[in-house]
């Protein structure tokens, strides 16, 4: 007997995060996401090692400056994907598959258009952006070459991230892990090939590292789309469903109204990071290179926090969609505990073995002690960062985005940048590093207040009904699959 078009498929039970024990389910959901984060960070570190070994410290400084700019560009379109993920999670929690697919289709159309526009503008204004960062003169031409090639691959990289986020919204964190692995394998393997011109490949220097990323993301995206269609996963779009890529106005408003504030949060983080890079670059090339490498290590330290935050958000969204508010608080508590344990272990490991880890990046004798000092002052604060990510993940799961936006702005600019500038005359370069714990502590304190006393529980975020979906719901869908909230 054929199942109704708007009901979950046979694999839905495996992805159901609204029943059963919370802590084991959260960990099982978070671990593949953590694996994806590990692979992505490992990819960045391997690429940095290739660049440092073959092209030197100037190239390391160039890529660190360019990568922060890419994070800024990423933030400009990331919010749409996050908003769609919330919609997918809540729709899947209600078992409304058509709503989930319409949300994914709309996000694809919006992110593709936005990434093309951002990539084009980034290519054109790359010299001006690098100039605003006060990129060291020796690193400027390398950074420009690298950055412009990366901009070419922005649409593929953004869509790959979007599809991974959407799959996690349905409770599937394993599929994104496999295709992240494919992308990392290709990227890290092709880096020396294109940098050095091995075999038939041209010798591209620093542009070769960016070219490897472009090729890897393009191949991984194509493979993921094919896999989703072949396995008939919940977010697949085939046949008439392909029209969802041209979204309905009501759905565009739903995604944009939440996506813009989320994107603005990314932009605030990116702008603060760019401001910090400008301050760091004034300290000279050795400090700039040291800071760039510590960022590579921090990428690993923050991985558990990001994975747990994403898992908490996806799990909370499904339970909110299913009307199971009693589970949301338990999800938050489990996420906070996991963050302290997992992030704490990494912090201790990184601080204890800092010289060994830093030695992998071939830093010069002037940069190595600076990088060690930065890590000692800053790394522990990622435990605070992780707790904030858990709280933000829960409130965003119900569409609350303005509160976290304001909190981030205050913690990044009046606090972090303010501390860096105000204490500079007394602490010299250490003022830059102490500003990180200060900002993280302020961020967490405000996040706790918002979670405890904010109005985020009152809002509900739903995919607007299309006429076709409404007719189908009346004809075939059980009450639990409808678009109205359960009371």
pLDDT in tens, 390-432: 999 999 999 899 999 999 999 999 999 999 999 999 999 999 9
Closest by CA to 454, choosing from 408, 415, 401, 388, is: 401
User: In 3D, which of 98, 100, 95 has the Cα closest to residue 8?
Assistant: 95
- Give the confidence band of 76 by pLDDT, cuts at 50, 70, 90: low
Q: Are 147 and 130 in contact (CB under 8 A)?
A: yes
Residue 81 or 479, more confident: 81
pTM summary value: 0.78
Q: Mean pLDDT throughout 338-359? A: 93
Name which of 36, 81, 78, 314 is nearest 175 in CA terms. 36
Q: Which one-letter DSSP state was computed for residue 170?
A: T
d(CA 138, CA 281): 12
Structurally, how many domains does the chain consist of?
1
Report the pLDDT averaged over residues 91-96: 84
Does 471 have pLDDT greater than 50?
Answer: no
Instruction: Express each pLDDT in 187-228 by its tens digit.
Output: 989 988 998 888 888 888 888 888 998 999 999 999 999 999
Residues 460 and 485: beta-carbon distance below 8 Å: yes
Distances (CA, A) of 369 to 9, 64, 139, 286, 380: 56, 19, 21, 10, 18
Structure tokens at 368: 């190595």
Q: Comparing 329 with 52, which gets the higher pLDDT?
A: 329
pLDDT for position 118? 83
* Mean local confidence (pLDDT), 124-143: 77
Q: Assess if residue 1 is contained within a domain.
A: no
Q: Which domain holds residue 233?
A: 22-461
1: exposed, middle or buried (C-beta count within 10 Å: 0-12, 13-18, 19+)?
A: exposed
Question: Is the per-residue pLDDT at 336 higher than 90?
Answer: yes
- The verdict on residue 237 lying in a domain is yes
pLDDT value at position 62?
73
Q: Evaluate whether residue 479 is within a structural domain.
A: no
The DSSP secondary structure of 9-37, one letter per residue, reads -GGGGGG--SSS-HHHHHHHHHHHHHHHH
Q: Which of 472, 467, 484 is nearest to 248 (CA)?
A: 467
Q: What is the mean predicted confidence (pLDDT) over 154-179?
A: 90
**Mean pLDDT in residue range 430-457:** 96
Q: How far apart are the first and last CA of the chain?
A: 32
What pLDDT does residue 132 have? 76
* 296 within domain boundaries: yes
pLDDT band at 483 (very low <50, low <70, confident <90, very high): very low
Q: How far apart are CA 434 and CA 4, in angstroms?
A: 57
Identify which has the larger pLDDT, 137 or 34: 34
Residue 284 lies in a domain: yes
Q: In sequence order, which ranges of 94-153 are alpha helices (DSSP H)?
A: 97-132, 140-152
Closest CA to 106 of 131, 89, 75, 81: 81
In a domain, residue 11? The reply is no
More confident residue, 69 or 407: 407
Tell me what pLDDT residue 279 has: 93
Cα gap 20→296, rounded to integer Å: 37
In a domain, 246, yes or no: yes
Residue 339 lies in a domain: yes
């Amino acid at each position: 007997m054929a199942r109704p078009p708007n009901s979950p498929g046979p694999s839905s039970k495996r992805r159901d995060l609204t029943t059963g024990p919370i802590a084991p389910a959260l960990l099982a959901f978070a671990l593949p996401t953590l694996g994806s984060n590990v692979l992505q960070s490992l990819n960045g570190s391997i690429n940095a090692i290739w660049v440092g070994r073959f092209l030197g410290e100037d190239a390391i400084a160039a890529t660190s400056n360019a990568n922060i700019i890419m994070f800024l560009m990423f933030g400009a379109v990331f919010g749409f994907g996050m908003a769609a993920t919330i919609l997918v999670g809540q729709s899947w929690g209600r078992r409304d598959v058509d709503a989930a697919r319409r949300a994914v289709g709309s996000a694809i159309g919006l992110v593709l258009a936005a990434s093309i526009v951002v990539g084009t503008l980034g290519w054109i204004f790359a010299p001006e952006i690098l100039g605003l960062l006060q990129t060291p003169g020796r690193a400027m031409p390398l950074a420009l070459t690298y950055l412009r090639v990366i901009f070419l691959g922005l649409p593929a990289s953004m869509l790959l991230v979007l599809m991974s986020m959407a799959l996690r919204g349905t409770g599937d964190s394993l599929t994104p892990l496999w295709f992240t692995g494919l992308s990392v394998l290709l990227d890290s393997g092709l880096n020396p090939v294109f940098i050095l011109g091995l075999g038939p490949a041209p010798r591209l220097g620093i542009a070769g590292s960016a070219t490897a990323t472009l090729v890897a993301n393009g191949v991984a995206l194509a493979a993921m789309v094919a896999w989703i269609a072949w396995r008939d996963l919940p977010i697949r779009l085939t046949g008439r469903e392909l029209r969802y890529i041209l979204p309905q106005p009501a759905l565009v408003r739903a995604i944009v109204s939440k996506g813009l504030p989320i994107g603005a949060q990314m932009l605030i983080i990116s702008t603060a990071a760019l401001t910090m890079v400008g301050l760091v670059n004034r300290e000279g090339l050795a400090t700039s290179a040291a800071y760039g490498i510590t960022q590579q290590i921090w990428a690993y330290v923050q991985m558990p926090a990001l994975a747990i935050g994403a898992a908490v958000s996806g799990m909370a969204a499904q339970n909110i969609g299913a009307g199971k508010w009693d589970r949301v608080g338990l999800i938050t508590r489990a996420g906070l505990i996991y963050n302290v344990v997992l992030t704490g272990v990494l912090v201790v490991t990184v601080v204890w073995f800092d010289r060994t880890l830093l030695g992998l990046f071939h830093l010069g004798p002037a940069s190595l002690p600076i990088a060690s000092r930065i890590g000692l002052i800053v790394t522990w604060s990622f435990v605070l960062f992780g707790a904030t990510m858990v709280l933000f993940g829960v409130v965003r799961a119900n569409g609350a985005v303005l509160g976290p936006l304001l909190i981030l702005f205050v913690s990044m600019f009046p606090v972090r940048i303010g501390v860096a500038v105000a204490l500079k005359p007394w602490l010299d370069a250490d003022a830059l590093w102490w500003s990180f714990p200060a900002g993280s502590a302020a961020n967490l304190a405000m996040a706790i207040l918002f979670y405890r006393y904010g109005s985020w529980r009152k809002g509900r975020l739903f995919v607007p009904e299309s006429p076709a979906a409404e007719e189908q719901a009346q004809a075939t869908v059980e009450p639990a699959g409808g678009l109205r909230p359960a009371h």
